[in-house]
Homo-oligomer: A and B are copies of this chain.
Amino acid sequence: MGHKTEEMLQRNASKVRQVASAARSKVLTIDSMNERVKAVQYAVRGPIVIRAGEIENQLKAGSTEFPFDEVIKCNIGDAHAMQQKPITYLRQVVTGTCYPDLMDGENNNGVIPKDASEQARRILGSCGGGSVGAYSNSAGVPVIREDVAKYIEKRDGIGNVDPENIVLSTGASGSITTLLKMLVNGPQDGIMIPIPQYPLYSACLAEFNATVVPYYLNEETNWSLDLEELERAYSESDVKPKAICIINPGNPTGQVASYENIKKVLNFAYSRGLFVLADEVYQDNVYAEGAKFHSFRKVLLEMGEPYASEVELASFHSTSKGYMGECGFRSGYMEILNMDPDVKAQLVKLISSRLCPPVPGQAAMDVVVNPPVPGDDSYELYIQERTKVLADLKYKAKLVADTFNAIEGISCQPVQGAMYAFPNIKLPEKFIKEAGQKGLVPDAYYCTLLLEQTGICVVAGSGFRQKAGSWHFRTTILPPKEKMEKFAKLFTEFHLGILAKYE
């Protein structure tokens, strides 16, 4: 070993903070890790949900230590986990792409019907090597992007959609994360998000070290989005907001925005120079009489110039919600409108470094945007299944809100759309004090007790953020009817018990 090498080794040794020894400490510790990751919070799968999983495992293993025999998981919009049956046609198309031998046609087994086989073949024809085993283009399989474009055109009945503006992703989460990442450089960049919000938004902004500019939805008027509140939020922000996120239909709040309301938001975004992110993953989930889904794109185009060609808009959709509910496939897309071409090139580069979204999920997305139509062999079964899912959700949307509103100290706005109720709970002072003594946020303490005493797993309102001094929780409306009815009974008893004990 030369002199130079020895010198280098010595220099290196002195560079090492800790001398290697039996007590050598970890390299990656809570102190040395990424601070921004530590700042991330995501209650939808937080400590209460982790605890619910533990209890479930104990129950499975035969434990009798709990005063209930099952966990009712209302923490996450996960329809299939709650026994919702898949739409047969969707699974047939996906199966055709994964195992082409099963498709209809000569030399094939033919268990996949003709129309599903045709759709699967068309998708495969647009895949590398004709296989879902190949990476797709970074922005998705070409024909699926085309089908998404046609779906949007048909849905909105206005304007053309360029498939080049459709970017498929790993769930809508993948698109939302990517776009927020594109937007922000640091704490000097603000993003307006609704409160309450789906916590992916605050989680991403924490991770990317950007500033949350909260605007509050008005609970009294069913979580409406008031223009004056947008102006207030913009005005009081320490940093210039760069974008505004809207979730419509609302998560966790279940409201559906009116056409006029959307117009006002777009006008605000235009005049204030904001990029618009429209989270529209619940566009097929509208239950209330009189409520109707209007896409931000449609309203924008109908506003005409200069809005239509100037407001930069991204809209998100997913296979996970709607009546398909295929969360496990992790598929979503974003449509971008009026994006600067140079920025779009950067977006494509960024997603290319992660290669592509899952291709079987993309095939599932193709069915979401291109389901059977009247006259197709599979139409009848498809429409039966679709109608049943949506009718069940509509029934439960009302059941859940009615249940809460019948209980003293609870009020719940109607669930117009999406998959959630977000009831307001008045907690007794004594309860709030006890929570404080235990170092817990009152609604988190409430949800913990609810889980431990009844097996019901919901997410505390604080996980979505809420007006100071108000307390809520979010429950899905997804468990099967009889379970939802059991939920209603157990929950009512629990809440009355809390009142009796603490008031």
Which chain A residues have a beta carbon within 8 Å of chain B's beta carbons?
5, 8-9, 11-13, 15-18, 20-22, 24, 26-30, 32-38, 40-42, 44-46, 53, 76, 78-84, 86, 91-92, 94-95, 98-99, 102, 109, 111, 127-129, 131-138, 170-171, 173-174, 177, 181-185, 199-200, 203-204, 207-208, 228, 231-232, 234-235, 240, 242-243, 270-275, 306, 310, 312, 320, 325-330, 338-340, 342-343, 346, 349-350, 352-361
Contacts and interface: CB of A to CB of B under 8 A. Distances in A.
B182 A310 contact: no
Contacts of A200: 353
A135 to B, nearest CB: 5
Contact of A37 (B9, B228, B350): B350
A232 B8 contact: yes
Nearest to A1: B228
Contacts of A330: 170, 355-359
A102 B95 CA distance: 10
Given A306-B22, A360-B360, A177 B273 contact: no
Nearest to A357: B330
A15 B234 contact: yes
A338 B27 CA distance: 10
Contacts of A228: 5
Given A173-B355, A273-B27, A91 B99 contact: yes
A320 B76 CA distance: 30
B360 A328 contact: yes
A77 B137 CA distance: 14
B137 A26 contact: no
A318 to B, nearest CB: 11
B328 A134 contact: yes
Nearest to A44: B352
Contacts of A182: 28, 33-34, 37
Contact of A26 (B35, B312, B354): B312
B99 A181 contact: no
B98 A11 contact: no
B328 A231 contact: no
A356 to B, nearest CB: 7
A325 B84 CA distance: 33
